[in-house]
């Protein structure tokens, strides 16, 4: 009995010492309302086989407002190759519309994205995720970066080769 107890303790200790492999984050069954389009929903299922870039933002967030021009530029550059979406935490579309207009954001935007953000472990804004063609997260960026457009472009270029 003593040997069995020691063996169990050794196995449990060894298991605790090995690093855990991170869970692969995926976009599954995501449906969010699109800003500025009555009764229209953005559905990730419509983009099977296409990479997706999701940038979580809030209309009230000053760093998100600084990020909007980079997201717009990425949308213009990769529009036919990557689905690029601004996912706003706001529960209603009006503040998002106002922020988009004030900051020159012309990309596609959805709102009420809090549940999705929580499911992906977003802890601050802006927070950017690049998903491959299988909609598995392959790269994330947290916070505002002046060089966001350059960094994300480099990763997208690797992905779509």
Tens digit of pLDDT for each residue in 21-40? 457 789 988 999 999 877 79
The tens digit of pLDDT for each residue in 87-131 reads 999 999 999 999 999 999 999 999 999 999 999 999 999 999 999
Q: How many CB atoms lie within 10 A of CB 158?
A: 11
| Contact status, residue 51 vs residue 130, Cβ threshold 8 Å | yes
The tens digit of pLDDT for each residue in 48-60 reads 999 999 999 999 9
Q: For the domain bounded by 24-160, which CATH number is listed? A: 3.40.30.10
| Alpha carbon distance 41, 37 (integer Å) | 8
Residue 28: predicted pLDDT: 86
| Alpha carbon distance 148, 94 (integer Å) | 26
Q: What are phi and psi of 20, to 5 degrees?
A: -85, 140
The tens digit of pLDDT for each residue in 62-86 reads 999 999 999 999 999 999 999 999 9
């Amino acid at each position: 009995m003593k040997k069995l107890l020691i063996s169990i303790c050794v196995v449990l200790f060894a298991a605790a010492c090995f690093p855990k492999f991170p869970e692969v984050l995926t976009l599954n069954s995501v449906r969010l309302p699109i800003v500025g389009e009555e009764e229209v929903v953005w559905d990730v299922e419509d983009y099977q086989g296409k990479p997706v870039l999701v940038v979580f933002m809030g209309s009230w967030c000053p760093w998100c407002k600084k990020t909007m021009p980079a997201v717009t530029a990425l949308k213009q550059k990769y529009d036919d190759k990557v689905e690029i979406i601004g996912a706003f935490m706001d529960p209603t579309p009006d503040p998002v519309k106002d922020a988009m207009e004030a900051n020159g954001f012309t990309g596609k935007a959805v709102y009420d994205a809090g549940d999705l953000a929580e499911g992906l472990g977003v802890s601050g804004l802006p927070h950017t995720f690049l998903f491959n063609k299988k909609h598995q997260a392959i790269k994330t960026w947290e916070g505002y970066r002046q060089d966001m457009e350059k960094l994300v472009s480099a990763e997208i270029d690797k992905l779509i080769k």
